Chains A and B, each alone.
Chain A
């Protein structure tokens, strides 16, 4: 469409905050107990990242790919698309990220863990933990209530935050895995800001922290080499 440039960002906010949050609440009811299963998977991932053997990277990539695929279908297609036609494009991006995780992390085995600096390890593992429990708690604190919260493995934001933490901890040729999660941080932050949700700055801040930490880690490795 040649006229995209004539639109303001606010033109694409097609629903009210109340509608969006009520949709989250119904979604959480619809997919229950998937949140619980995903939390167990997420805690297992965190344990693997902290203590697991380097070869466990394939398990991490596979689990994350499953989460991205679940969010693409269950959230974007089956729920979010009812109020936002752009959700079909988001679903395609999430499905693509699932395929990329499978290709890079499982088929090619290009991810490895265990060589991050102590600082990067703290940030990376912290982001994974943030995706697992931090965001749901933040949702509750900001008045959305736990029933309307975004959970790891079923919600887009928590899954993206945890994935960025994993990517920060990983070594190897993982650059194809960065663009979609980082783009999502900008998109979800923009939507939340338009809805004036208190947590609007959170995901853009997550992206900023990850980028800064990745640059720091890259320079450290360059110097070490």
Chain B
């Protein structure tokens, strides 16, 4: 069970998307896990063949628990022995007792190597919205017939299945695995649980991290003029939001001041080469989540926009991926939408910096001896004084400012 966020202690396996014998590649989504904050699609860290599922659906286990055993590619070739082969990663926690789920017997037959690996291993074609609705209605997705593109299960398929009398869809194999799909966390419970998680993370942050705060006004006239002209050329479906420029500027500024990007662990700063920007997204029903957009510094503005839109959609639907939750290296929050001008951020541990942007407002601005009205944004930095000093933070904000003056180069 991966730690999906700084303060997650346990997670519940909602659904396995693979079964023993399935071939998986690093990054494949193999299971759906429920946590206090969201439903998370868990990506596998290691390529190989699923040897066995250790934790059944419906079970809540602490982080660090072995969920499944994977044979690595090298080990997949020799015929399976009677004894379980070496696990890819030695279990840190004593594995659960042998599973008694009757359905998937261990592949006793010798491996047929010529057989192509199953396509898209175990991935159910189901939209995040449909998944969410299914969990809310307690519908078992394996019994739902998909009518969407490529047989994808859509929200209406789920709703139809929920309305159908229970006897209407008899399971194909008679002895279906016993644990019924875990009932979803009710929205009110989820909200209370999320509040607790936020409380724990923020209390830890304020308790452990000696924050320092800096702020600077940034003239956004060039950036906004460039964006306006750019959007005028684009159809509505391809337009950019200004937050994309801000994200890219922050990610690129990290190249100048790497002390802002990484984690404070075991009493030392661990710099991250990759720049995964956590984007604080507020949920309509209350609460907040800051999943990461990966490698923001290397993505084009269009790619960041696409990633941001996808992320907002999935956050709202409540389905995220494990890597997005776990590996942000710096957080960006833009509270300007709510009208505030300055953000005094609280760092999300174990990260060491959070950049906040307020509302873009038209202000009198003196430049070259002239006063004119310019769109101004207040960029603020909350940084961990254990990892960096104010001088460093100042350089970082200055770099963000400089990058935003040349939007066409972002």
Bound pair (A, B):
no
